[in-house]
Amino acid sequence: MRLKNLVYLFTAICILAVVPSFAGNGEKEKTATVQALVVDESGEPLAGVAVRIQGYAGVVYTNLDGQFEIPVPKTGKLNISLSTISYQEKQISLDSKNNSNSGSLTISLEPQKAF
């Protein structure tokens, strides 16, 4: 009985070790990387801006230099949302299928208007 359990355990470990290697095949071909700089109205970098791809879970934030890098699926048109406190939320659209965005992209956020 004990030997049978060890065989099952060994088989399960082998399967779990092999499956992720198959799941990752072609992953680089299916994603692109968007890199950008987020600045305020005077061109100063904004740290801590939340960057979300609409329709996908997860969020990344700009670093202290206002830069972010986010992997995106190569599915065509993507809507990216940028938001932070005291600034108006901004929506941008990118074509991830035809543009890997290897160049630099600068996105400017406008301050929220007083009521």
Whichever domain contains 91, its CATH number is 2.60.40.1120
β-sheet bridge partners, residue 36: 68, 105
In this predicted model, what pLDDT tens digit does every residue of 14-70 receive, in sequence order? 565 554 544 444 545 677 788 899 999 999 999 999 999 888 888 999 999 999 998
Is residue 40 exposed (0-12), middle (13-18) or buried (19+ Cβ within 10 Å)? middle
Q: pLDDT at position 72, please?
A: 78
Percentages of the chain per state (helix, strand, coil), in multiples of 5: 25, 35, 40
| Structural domains of the chain, count | 1
pTM of the prediction? Answer: 0.68
Q: Which of 26, 101, 32 has the alpha carbon at shortest distance from 73?
A: 32
Q: Is residue 53 part of a domain?
A: yes
Q: Is residue 13 part of a domain?
A: no
Q: Residues 108, 112, 113, 115: what is their CA dihedral angle, to the nearest 10 degrees?
A: 170
Q: What residue numbers bound the domain in which 47 lies?
A: 31-108
Q: Is residue 97 part of a domain?
A: yes
In this predicted model, what pLDDT tens digit does every residue of 99-109 receive, in sequence order? 555 457 899 99
